[in-house]
Structure 1
Amino acid sequence: MTTNSQPEDRQLIPRRGLMRSGLIVSAMTMLSRVLGLARDVVVATLLGAGDGADAFFVAFKIPNFLRRLFAEGAFNQAFVPVLSEYSTQRDRQEIRELLNAVAGSLTAILALITALAMLGAPWLVWLFAPGFGRDPEKLAMTADMLRLTFPYLLLISLTAFAGSVLNTWNRFAVPAFTPVLLNLSLIGAALLLTPLMEEPAMALAWGVLIAGVAQLVFQVPFLLRLGLMPTPWPNLAHDGVRRILKLMGPALFGVSVSQINLLLDTVLASLLAAGSVSWLYYSDRLVELPLGVFGVAIGTVILPALSKRHAEQSSAHFAAMLDWAIRLVLLLGLPAALALAVLAEPLLITLFHYGAMTDTDIQMAAMSLRAYAFGLVAFMLIKVLAPGFFARQNTVTPVKVGIFAMVANMVFNLILIWPLAHAGLALATALSAFLNAGLLGYLLRKEGVLVFQPGWRRFAVQLLGGSTLMCVALYVIAPEWTQWLAMSLWQRVAWVSGLVALGAGLYFAWLGVFGLRVRHLKMRA
């Protein structure tokens, strides 16, 4: 190890406030999610909840699920702690060797997986959506789409690799902005390519492939600017690669358990009434907005910070960061979940009740939206509690918790699917998420890693009081959902905007009156 270069290398990674970094990621993620909702409005208007929509959602969900499982899940959680350790304790040459070996190995492995998946597309569709097997045309259409969408896994995984490097060097804005290109590509494909296709949904599959290329190319200049653009060369014998692979195995069942549960929902939903897959998709998209803007943003900035504190053996700061992250999740996640539940139909009508989307589709999607909203806080807590293990390069404990939560989710599915149909699947996912988050928190406390800081009793009063005031106001003031059906687009947008502003204003006003200040939310990386 070249110790003389360590001070210089450390200076390359400036320490910034976690709150500031979180706001940057949240702002970029908000832009992406708003465009994502615009994308879904376009898709809902063109395709509704029919066979074409179901086929595309499954064809996109398969690589997207694997992206979250591998690229943003297992790979990110294993790669960032090792890279953070290298950035703290190794010189620039060793860092470059690690990046070259990881980029080359990742490309080789995923290229092979992509080729096999494209060859076996019909069997892969049947595995993920067995109900499609009852309709050969629907199965074949989905398989054709999957051959276009599956290469997205390779492209977006390399994008995630680049994003992990940028995040470790505290360049959070670029990776957070990158998903905007996916939404722009899909919107463009829906508007420009749909009229050219015999099957309109096939245009969206092309949009996914175009987006994968655009997202990867976008990050290259920023890696070059840092002097960290790798020269990919597979090297599975590299010590860093071997450590990452060792950590990735258990991590597959760690932070990504919620994604596995959502996939199980799709498998079972394909066996229910036509439209069930789409109802779950549209409701999940609304839950993904606060989850991405708040939960994922906090988890994104806290993982490299926790990894660096662990490498420096700063246990007190490590514990304080986890406490800060939990408070921020509750502060933002609880009111978001309650607002989604109270305004389920108005939000769905405003965003999706156009074209092929029917009144019945809105009612069905609202049922699953309320069930997902119930689990929103738990989904967000998983995003910030799992890094408490991964930052210490402990992937064994989360995998045990993840397996237990997955089994519980299947039991909940079988119990709830019969009385509640697709909404039962969403509720089962929410219940298993609470079980997952609860066990992660309990084990972090038991290991002495999570230490609650002073002020929790006062914080609880502030949080519950503000949330109650917001819910009562929204419930009393919002029109009945049937009245929203007669409104024009701009009337709906005006009402939703006003209700959101009112709810947020009352909530934060309550917090301010009862003593919560911005300075209380600051935390140094």
Structure 2
Amino acid sequence: MANKISGSYAIVVNPGTEVNKHGKNIAKKAAVVAGATLISRLLGFVRDVIVAFALGAGMFADAFFVAFRIPNLLRRLFGEGSLTMAFIPVFSRIMEEEGEEAAQAMARSAMIWLCVILGCITLLVELSAGPLTMIIAPGFLDNSVQFQATVELIRICFPYVIFICGVALCMGILNARDHFLSPALAPVVLNISLIGAALIGYFFGLNVAYSMAYGVLAGGVGQLLLQQPFLFSSGFRWKGGWSWRNQGVARMGMLMLPTVFGAAVYQINILLGTLLASYLPVGSVSYLYYADRLVQFPLGVFGIAVSTAALPSLAKLAARGEMEEFDGALSVSLALTLFIALPSAAGLIGLANPVIGLLFERGAFSAEAVSATAQALVAYSIGLPFIALARPLVAGFYALEDTRTPVRVAVLCLLSNVGLGIFLMQSLAHVGLALAVSLSSFLNFICLYVLLVQKRGRGLIGLGMVVKSVMLSLIVGVGAFLTAVWHPWWLALIPFWCVFYIGAGHMLGMQEARLLTGLVATRIRRRKKVREG
């Protein structure tokens, strides 16, 4: 039962058995996704180091990165998030209302449509790779060798988009069946493939750029193949009925159009931010890039994990009409996200300088660059909790099959980000651009939260939980800042701050802390049983 506080959107949540059950399930699934994503991100850093070693930063490196950017952009627009978020609510509703076979027929139909559409796009790109290269990299026309290499690399890399969008559809099927491990591990396969391709090309004296292009293709195939045993064990079969006119696919397509547009808005936001930064002193683009990489780490590991885990549960509850449980599950998702995001932001702010120095201060990356990047990191980190909170809210809208509202809000925030960026960069330079992102992220969260509360007619975040999390995060942030000068002990103290935060939350009776400690205790007991067995 949730009590709405008059005149505000805060609530006091008193979870019943069902809310606790769904909250624990989401936390368990999020832990699986977070663990797999952490492995992928760490391996991604290794990949960057090896690729830099084998490929360098010359003519063929530029050609490869341009060639890979095109299928990667389509992956972000159609595959990553958009397709899965549109598929899961429709698939879950069909499974609840029409049964397993109808849901499987819808998934098969969706895969066939996906292959046909992407196959046609791929054929078009293969035939027009030259003109396409002229559009996206016109500067390469001055170097015929580089231009021709880019054309050939595009033709090798582009079919990757067929496989990776197939992976996104498989991810939707598996997530809807409460399986999260293999889809979350899929990027690991790509990283391993690219690492292997780079090393093979380097040590066998091949052109590393071409070797890596084939590595991209192999990585796409490997990611798709990885999902198949898990699909089979879940009871799903590709062999069976399907239809060109499947109503579920049509509904999915209608839901997907706004999500693709929303993804395009996000990419435009990044492009415009880079464009504005190009008018600032040399180095500004790099400062923002490195700072953003650090902020994306906790977002990628924890923020995406909770929303990925929450969407299938929310979609099933909405399909069943169990809206009381839907609200409870969404409240737990938001609270868990906030509980993790607030101390992450506080830690990054408190340790901005030493963290940037530890990771990047060497070679051409000077102490001045460390300071400038750290300032950008602080400005970005202010918005980290709001960026993270927006993800479960968007999942809530998608579970209710409302994909238009998040897109409308995204467009509003795009305009606010550009306007604030132009205004703030006049006095704060690159820090102003980072701060504009945080402020527009806050606006994004407020709009999504208020609109979803109006849609549901009740508040979704407990005021007491927010106060406790903010208080404990302030202690962590101030403590980390005061100890940042204790080199290298500030690094050794990071686990202490994590334990302090969760332990203090547990002592204050916070459900989120109990969920996390309960998960750890359960994992320890399981491992102990395995060793004893």
**2:522 aligns to what?**
none
Distance 1:51 1:437 in 2: 42
- Could you tell me which of 210, 214, 221 is aligned with 1:213? 221
Q: Deviations over 1:313-332 (max 9, x none)?
A: 11111111222111111111
Amino acid at match of 2:474: T
**1:320 aligns to what?**
328
Matched, 1:476 2:482: yes
Distance 1:117 1:345 in 2: 45
The answer as to whether partners of 1:279 and 1:361 remain within 8 angstroms in 2 is yes
Amino acid at match of 2:466: A
Matched, 1:465 2:471: yes
Distance 1:170 1:230, change over 3 A: same
**1:507 aligns to what?**
501
- Tell me the CA shift for residue 307 of structure 1: 0.9
Match of 2:178, SS state, is: coil
Amino acid at match of 2:479: A
- Tell me the CA shift for residue 72 of structure 1: 2.3
**2:305 aligns to what?**
297
Distance 1:511 1:127 in 2: 54
Distance 1:270 1:203 in 2: 33
- Could you tell me which of 291, 300, 304 is aligned with 1:283? 291
Distance 1:24 1:59 in 2: 33
Larger Rg: 2
- Tell me the CA shift for residue 267 of structure 1: 5.4
Amino acid at match of 1:30: L
TM-score normalized by structure 2? 0.80
**1:488 aligns to what?**
none
Distance 1:53 1:360, change over 3 A: farther
Distance 1:518 1:405, change over 3 A: closer
TM-score normalized by structure 1? 0.81
Q: Deviations over 1:321-380 (max 9, x none)?
A: 222111111111111122223333433444445677666665554444334323222221
**1:173 aligns to what?**
181
Distance 1:199 1:280, change over 3 A: farther
Let me know the Cα RMSD of the aligned residues. Answer: 3.7
Distance 1:40 1:438, change over 3 A: farther
Distance 2:215 2:287 in 1: 22
Q: Equivalent pairs: percent with the same residue?
A: 38
Match of 1:67, SS state, is: helix
Q: Deviations over 1:459-486 (max 9, x none)?
A: 2332122111111222122238xx7xxx
Match of 1:187, SS state, is: helix
Distance 1:514 1:388, change over 3 A: same
Amino acid at match of 2:405: T
Amino acid at match of 1:156: I
Match of 1:237, SS state, is: coil
Kindly tell me the number of residue pairs found equivalent between the two proteins. 495
Matched, 1:402 2:410: yes
Distance 2:245 2:279 in 1: 45
Q: Deviations over 1:174-228 (max 9, x none)?
A: 1112221122223333444345678766655444333212111111111122231
Match of 1:447, SS state, is: helix
- Tell me the CA shift for residue 160 of structure 1: 0.9
- Tell me the CA shift for residue 518 of structure 1: 5.3
- Tell me the CA shift for residue 384 of structure 1: 0.6
Match of 1:227, SS state, is: coil
Distance 1:210 1:458 in 2: 50
**2:420 aligns to what?**
412
Q: Which runs of 5+ in 2 are unaligned?
A: 1-20, 519-533
Matched, 1:222 2:216: no
**1:389 aligns to what?**
397
Distance 1:107 1:415, change over 3 A: farther
Matched, 1:20 2:52: no
Distance 1:61 1:277, change over 3 A: farther
Q: Deviations over 1:51-86 (max 9, x none)?
A: 877665555444333323211232112110011112
Amino acid at match of 2:493: L
The answer as to whether partners of 1:294 and 1:329 remain within 8 angstroms in 2 is yes
Match of 1:479, SS state, is: coil
The answer as to whether partners of 1:382 and 1:437 remain within 8 angstroms in 2 is yes
